[in-house]
Structure 1
Amino acid sequence: MKSVLFALPNQIPQPGLFGNLNNLKYPTFPPLGLMYIASVIEKLGNSVEIIDLSVFDYSDEYIFKRIVSADFVGINVFTHSFKLAKNLARRIKSLSEDILIIIGGPHCTFLKEKSLNDIPEAKIAVVLEGENVIKEIIKYLEGKRNLSEIPGIYYREGKEIKKGKPFEIIEDLDLIPFPARHLIDESKYGKFPWYDFSKIKYTSMITSRGCPFRCRFCSRYCNVFPRWGYRERSSENVVKELVELNDKYGFVTIVDDNFLTNIKRAHLIFDELIEYGTDILIQILGTRCDIVDRVLFDKMKRVNVRYITFGVESGNQDVLDFYNKKITLNQIRNTLKLADDFGFNNSATLILGAPIETKTHINNTIDFICSLPLDHIIVHILFYDMGSDLWVEAVKEGKISKDEFEVPSIIERGLSNFTYDELINYQNIVARKFYMRIKYIIKQIIKSINDKDSLRLKQIIRVLISLQFKNFLFPIDVHK
């Protein structure tokens, strides 16, 4: 049996590096979810191919050659880009009218049967985790299962959309085979706004699913599937994958929502990596700002953890409390000070547009992040995403329809004190004020030299001699 899995662009515009305000779009991460599904398909003895349309817009002729003999195709659907999936499904059907199309991903999980109405060319929609579900779908294609018997799907039967059996959570994540990384071209990934890791063979991995915390802005599956909870892979299983990656890759990003949730497990993982002597560079993408563990940071440094992204979100305590972050500004300062002492490259995520946020709040955030030992910032505009507590509350208050899955926090909808254009402008101002500081630039040059990071040093020099440096010479006064 042959299948083809399609990944679509899942790109988020961000203000550019060092005051470069041309929004960068970056297919940073490989399609990890599809790589897990592909691994399961291969373990069953079947053929599978991954086509990532975020890397290259392949021609109809190229796609046709790959799907003409396939038994089914799968499309990973994100809600903010589901129209791309709709167009792709239509395109596939125009090339091969009888082919079975299966869709999955966040859009299907939150919209359920509506996702099949959104993409009428698809016959099956998979909700939540697909590793076990795909096994059952293959049995259906072999004539060994009825769709009504398969848990975790919605399916089309004639003009009706029906539901399979209730979804079954994968309790033991160690049972899932490692992703089929050989099916993608690693050189196409790892391109962050501030660094191109693709040059040293980049990949990503995930060691847990879900998050035990409840930040109000975060889209949560448990708001539509109450049984969905936080689960972790064992330290042994995580180390086994990292040791395998150590022999094949130069850099890996751990993309958990919160990798250091279980400090005891983190210690075990790093202890084992120290014993193995791995040298792969590691980035930890999701980290809270309430971790002040010098012993843990020392172990992380010894196993080549180089980059850490912290969820700072705001420089205002009342905004952090509104988001239910359960951290304080002092905890943020202390954690980032310790991380800087160990020489990590530290990034912070920020969110603009909370309903209680004013211009004064934004200025406070600028002052706060400029006082922190940060190397990079990622500035987001608040969206009320389907599944988040903010979205649920806004639906109850009648500010958002239950059919709206992604609504910007704007004054026109009674969700913030700013228009969308104002938030975009502030997003750019925050980035510019942070990056275009002489103290910051000098520190980055010294850090690049000390780390022998020639690529980053070249990038800094390129920015300094560009026209973007005028943003430093003639700064904008946002406090007016």
Structure 2
Amino acid sequence: MKTVLSTLNAKYIHTSLSIRYLKAYAEHDYDIELAEYTIKDPPMNIVTDLHTKKPEILGFSCYIWNIEETIKVIKMLKKINPSLLIVLGGPEVTYDTREWMEKIPEVDFIIIGEGEQSFKQLLDEIHGDRNFAEVSGIAYRENDSVQIKPQRNKVDLKELPSPFHFKEDLPHLSKRVTYIETSRGCPFSCQFCLSSIEVGVRYFDREKVKEDIRFLMDNGAKTIKFVDRTFNISRSYAMEMFQFLIDEHKPGVVFQFEITADIMRPEVIQFLNDHAPKGLFRFEIGVQSTNDLTNELVMRKQNFTKLTRTVTMVKEGQKIDQHLDLIAGLPEEDYHSFKKTFNDVFELRPEELQLGFLKMLRGTGLRLRAEDHGYVYMDHSPYEILKNNVLSFEDMIKIKQVEDVLEKFWNDHRMDETIEYLVSRVFSTPFDFFQDFGTFWDQKGWTRIGHQLEDLYKHLYDFLEVEKNEDLRIVSGFMKYDYLRNQKYKPRKPWWDDMLSKQERSKIYRSILDNPLILGNKFASKQLTEKDLFKHTIVESLPFNINHYLKTGQMIEEDSFILVHYDPIQLKTTVYSAFSSEIDSKVS
């Protein structure tokens, strides 16, 4: 019977590790085809493509992000071919399994939990005596009733075959994220997380993992993400892997890890700061909350002082980008407490700060005890909370306004110096800036439309013109600086209106050509011609001394100029600055 394993990924660049493990484990006895789609693909397109493959057994890997779309696909396929055997697996259907079997009568089997052995055993019975009671870790139908057989034993991870050697995957490795795991399970008991349910941590064979990583790099993989829940739970293991990746890495490859920052020893960080190539590693750190009571209620042990030490040391090393996570809606964290959490974490200035909202995942302790904290949440995936006993729906709306502008104006690094000045000099706290701007953004209806880069600058300017007009002159100078320095090519139409006239620009260019040292030795050494200046540079005025501010953090309000050179060969952007008086004296 032809078997197809499928899933709907969140994005095209993602790949499903789960269906590849199932295929690898069963491929000695069964020929299994993989078929991946995204949640943005029209269900009819997915159904059409799957139907052309003519499967007799069709499995889907199910998560909170794809279950609703997967159900649509299943129902259509079963109408087209009632004899098609549908098998579901994955974390979304592992819990409340009976409910899923009753909710989706089109489903014939559900794999519960870890699936490699159970799926292989299920295939054996489908092709054999069909005595499904002999298969552990499945739900199935018998005489119009649902039968559930719990898992007996966990698979020996050291015996699992590699999921990375399928020929059809090799041409796509360089274009997609490759997921890899070196362990399963988590040592912690965070009550909002599915990983807390599995007791203990089990490891894969280290040498096999290293062989897989070498194979992936040799075949062009560029982004390799470790899905271990806590990569650094064993310091000796983490150090061994870090050393291996530093020694064996190829140019352009990035490794991403989820780490627990407060247990990371300073000597480990120092080792990475000393030996890791810049950009090779990226850390994802779940902070979630800095409220001690909240962390206690979700059984989350966290030492924020040690976490701060780790994040700070990594940042000072300038080798590793860090992505920090927050969760709004955890028990007893009201709006004001979350504001403090946000400001505590933003103070660390992570390269990315992800603001998420609590999801009441099936099987988690928080969902089971939802009434204790008055949780009201979506009935359907992703089961996001709507409110609780200390956080109203109106509070949730306000925090979502923060999320929207945080992503666009901090995480995307379009105007770092501008935002830094605003959150440290203009607004009372970082949260106050993102909240006030986010509310303004939402009221203008900008949340529901797309934006060009220039639009983002104009929208920020419009907000500041209303809210902080007295600071607008200085802030607009930072905005010009950020806009010009972050372009790869000379912009055709900058976002601001008060641009220098052609006559003013010509005078400045003439003075620079007469004496290139005005902009320093580095600029003079370029020996740019008049044609180069007019074609590949732009000059603008700022109301303060940008050089002095960047070096000292002190503001000197005096007219100055910046010249930005866009190198057309190296695609490199360089900013040069000079005082207005230096330019004026040369012109006169």
- Give the corresponding residue for 2:160: 176
Letter in 2 for 1:267: M
Change (3 A) 1:296 1:117: farther
Percent identical: 20
User: What is the deviation of 1:155?
Assistant: 0.2
What are the superposed Cα offsets for residues 32-66 of structure 1, whole Å, 9 maximum, x if unpaired? 11111122232324232323244744354422110
Q: Where does the alignment leave 5 or more consecutive residues of structure 2 unmatched? A: 422-450, 469-588
User: Which sits farther off after the overlay, 172-181 or 53-62?
Assistant: 53-62
Given that residues 110 and 139 in structure 2 are in contact (C-alpha distance below 8 angstroms), is that contact kept between their aligned partners in structure 1? yes
Q: How has the CA–CA distance of structure 1 residues 8 and 277 changed in structure 2, closer, same or farther, with 3 Å as cutoff?
A: closer
2:178 pairs with one of 193, 200, 203: 203
Contact 1:317 1:329 in 2 (8 A): no
**1:99 CA displacement:** 1.2
Change (3 A) 1:299 1:52: farther
CA distance in 1, matches of 2:178, 2:260: 23
1:329 to 2:304 alignment: yes
In the alignment, the residues of structure 2 paired with residue 251 and residue 184 of structure 1 have an alpha-carbon distance, to the nearest angstrom, of 18
1:409 maps to amino acid: I
Asked if the contact 1:221/1:387 (under 8 Å) is kept, the reply is no
Inter-CA distance 381–181: structure 2 relative to 1 (3 Å threshold): farther
> Post-superposition shift, 1:241?
1.3
Aligned-partner Cα distance in 1 for 2:357–2:171: 30
CA distance in 1, matches of 2:459, 2:297: 33
CA–CA distance in 2 between the matches of 1:330 and 1:243?
Answer: 37
Q: Secondary structure at 1:62's aligned position in 2?
A: helix
Moved more, 365-374 or 97-106: 365-374
Match for residue 95 of structure 1? 80
1:135 counterpart residue number? 120
Letter in 1 for 2:260: R
Query: What does 1:113-192 align with in structure 2 at a 5 Å threshold?
Result: 113-144=98-129, 146-164=131-149, 166-170=151-155, 172-180=156-164, 182=166
Q: Deviations over 1:333-390 (max 9, x none)?
A: 2111121133211111111123322333233234333321311122101222222222
Asked if residue 365 in structure 1 is aligned to residue 341 in structure 2, the reply is yes
Q: Deviations over 1:53-81 (max 9, x none)?
A: 44744354422110x2x330001122464
Asked if the contact 1:279–1:303 (Cα under 8 Å) also holds between the matched residues in 2, the reply is no
How far off its partner does 1:405 sit? Answer: 7.6
SS state of the match for residue 360, structure 2?
Answer: strand
How far apart are 1:397 and its partner, in Å?
A: 7.2
Aligned residues of 2:112 and 2:151 also touching (Cα < 8 A)? no
Give, in whole Å, the separation in 2 of the partners of 1:398 and 1:417: 11
Q: Shift of the alpha carbon at 1:121?
A: 0.7
Which of residues 214, 230, 242 in structure 2 aligns to 1:270?
Answer: 242
Matches within 5 A, 1:23-38: 26-27=11-12, 29-38=14-23
After superposition, give the CA deviation of every residue in 1:118-161 in whole Å (9 maximum; x if it has no partner).
Answer: 22111111000111112111211221551000000010123111
2 CA distance for matches of 1:187 and 1:374?
A: 34
User: Retained in 1: the 8 A contact 2:289–2:326?
Assistant: yes
Amino acid at match of 1:286: E
Provide the rounded CA distance (Å) in 2 between the counterparts of 1:370 and 1:440: 15
1:466 aligns with 2:441: no
Which structure would you say has the larger Rg?
2
CA distance in structure 2 between the partners assigned to 1:440 and 1:311 by the alignment: 27
Contact 1:126 1:153 in 2 (8 A): yes
Q: How far 1:116 moved relative to its partner?
A: 1.2
**1:387 alignment partner, SS class:** coil
Matched, 1:230 2:201: yes
Q: Which moved more, 1:266-275 or 1:111-120?
A: 266-275
Q: Please, what TM-score do these two structures have when normalized by structure 2?
A: 0.65
Amino acid at match of 1:146: N
Deviation at 1:410, TM superposition (A): 3.6
1:458 aligned partner: none
Q: Deviations over 1:184-235 (max 9, x none)?
A: 668889xxxxxxxx65x5412111112111223213462xxxx653212232
Aligned mates of 2:200, 2:288 — CA distance in 1 = 24
Q: How far apart are residue 179 of structure 1 and its match? A: 1.6
8 Å CA contact 2:182, 2:226 repeated in 1: yes
Question: Size of the alignment, in residue pairs?
Answer: 427
TM-score with structure 1 setting the length = 0.78
CA distance in 1 between counterparts of 2:410 and 2:249 reads: 37
SS in 2 for 1:236: helix
Partner of 2:321 in structure 1? 345
Please name the residue that 1:448 is paired with: none
| Matched residue SS, 1:379 | strand
Question: Which residue of the partner structure matches residue 8 of structure 1?
Answer: 8
Change in CA separation of 1:60 and 1:79 when aligned onto 2, cut-off 3 Å: closer
CA distance in 1, matches of 2:49, 2:355: 37
Residue 139 of structure 2 contacts residue 149 of structure 2 at CA under 8 Å; is this kept in 1? Answer: yes
Letter in 1 for 2:243: D
Check conservation: 1:288, 1:310, Cα contact below 8 A. Answer: yes
Take 2:208 and 2:242, find their aligned partners in 1: how far apart are those partners?
13
What is the aligned partner in structure 2 of residue 449 from structure 1?
A: none
The alignment yields a C-alpha RMSD, in angstroms, of 3.4
Indicate the larger mover: 367-376 or 463-472: 463-472
Distance 1:383 1:43 in 2: 39
Comparing 31-40 and 81-90, the one that deviates more: 81-90
d(CA) in 2 for partners of 1:310 and 1:440?
26
